[in-house]
Structure 1
Amino acid sequence: MNAAVTSTPKPTALITGASRGLGAAIARELAPGHELLLGARSKDALRDILTELPEATPWPVELTDYEAVAAAVGAVERLDVLVHNAGIADLGTIAESSVTQWRNTLEANLIAVAELTRLLLPALRASNGHVVLINSGAGLRANAGWASYAASKFGLRAFADALRLEEPALRVTSIHPGRIDTDMQREITANEGREYRPEEFLTPETVAAAVRHAVETPRDAHPTEIVLRPIAR
């Protein structure tokens, strides 16, 4: 009698902001090798990507509702990959920025990331997991009109650096892409009063491929930071 063949379960990856743009591209890139949990504010927002990736599991929760987040992570006992992709870009000069704008930007781009990571640490530790943070070129330098956004991304980089030291069994990767061809980018460019030229920007697929390469890097290496810039045209 032949011995029964047992298949090794796929690693599990949770992607926040997975309903469209870069998050959806990351989901497509990781789907062949991972069981996916796809995060968004609502299940309805995930309809299109779930139609495309029917084996993925929706994980709808408002990331700044911390009681709801704590409840949502309760069923996650083991997590191999956590991709922090969700975030906002509410831009303006310092003179024009309000307390509300600063608070909302830091809340969405930094505090919510820190709390979700904290709550998922037991699940990540169980698998010696990998935390990938979608940062920005604004996390390396601040430009005029981008103060609150850059502050949130500089903070996100500091968070990644501290997490890497505090949790040496985990891998922690900061991805710093330049501007990406997404709906959010179209809004930003419109607010700048410029013509939108997609060829000036990175594609979501290019950045998603960098995320996959980081996740698939053999365990003897720790990809700490990846910086991507569009080729000048």
Structure 2
Amino acid sequence: MLVFVVAGGELPEPQRFAPFARAANLVIAADAGYDHLLAMGARPHLLIGDLDSISPTALADARRAAVPMETFPTEKDCTDTELVLREAVRRGATCVLACGTFGDRLDHTLANVLLLASPALRETDVRLLDARQEVRLVRGSVQLRTQPGETISLLPVGGEVRGVTTTGLYYPLSDATLQTGPALGISNVAVGEDVAVRAASGALLITRIFTGGLDATQYLRDLVAPSP
């Protein structure tokens, strides 16, 4: 099940994400993510959060449209983004596309990226995106559909990652060990339309910078296309 999550961080070009809202089986907004969805011409199936950043206009729209809400106190032990990702998993998500998770608050951005390593999300393909890039966490192996020239970076999280082997990258890795800190995996380049990454142990954050920005329609095609 494809779930589209919209958080309340920065999202300069919300219209780029409208195809995700149309294609998803379930759309969930975290607080001010509702405002972003309205800018896409969409509404969520569910609004979650402490409602401290949603605009009065968006909140009035949610109430007028009878959008289901799950509200939480401002003083809590997790962020609104964590709440929506956990709810997506609880409802059976197999893939989650999440936007509005980056912004000018470095602490929130880092917390959202590190959420990908949460045990609660381990069995779900969760991807954080903005208009020009994405990040996902991979254990084992993954096949990426890319455009030539896209920047691909591999960052270990939670300790060293052993046995890293890649194909389709300008700087290939073969049975390499990536350690937290050194930037061995930074700024690689896709040389074709398919990139493969395999790790024998550990977890990798894989970032991808889209050539020309996110094309959500093509992204969805690649999402459902069988691996070569």
State the TM bucket, normalised to the shorter chain.
Answer: 0.3 to 0.5
Between Structure 1 and Structure 2, which shows a larger proportion of helix residues? 1
Between Structure 1 and Structure 2, which shows a larger proportion of strand residues? 2
- Scaled by the length of structure 2, the TM-score of the pair is 0.43
